Amino acid sequence: MNYKDHIDITSGKRSGKPCVKGTRITVYDVLGWLANGMSTVEILEDFPELKAEHIQACLAYAADREHHLAVINAA
């Protein structure tokens, strides 16, 4: 999955947070819904502008970002 096909960051749109292309729904919104127990089907029913691949792209974006975080060890 190439999340870049579905996620973009636009200055001035939702304070520059990554959003699903063509919407104002942020990656954070989608991850929050999933973390709170919403299923993919429930999210798609509540937000018909989203598709299953958008939710998958949000997960891929979060995984990629987590992979690139720097670890700082306390002395």
User: pLDDT tens across 47-74, in order?
Assistant: 999 999 999 999 999 999 888 766 677 7
Enter the DSSP assignment of 69.
Answer: P
Buried b (16+ CB within 10 A) or exposed e, 20-35: beeeebbbebbeebbe
Q: 């990629």: which residue's tokens?
A: 64
> Which residues touch 31 (CB under 8 Å, ≥6 apart)?
58, 59, 62
The predicted structure's pLDDT at residue 39: 97
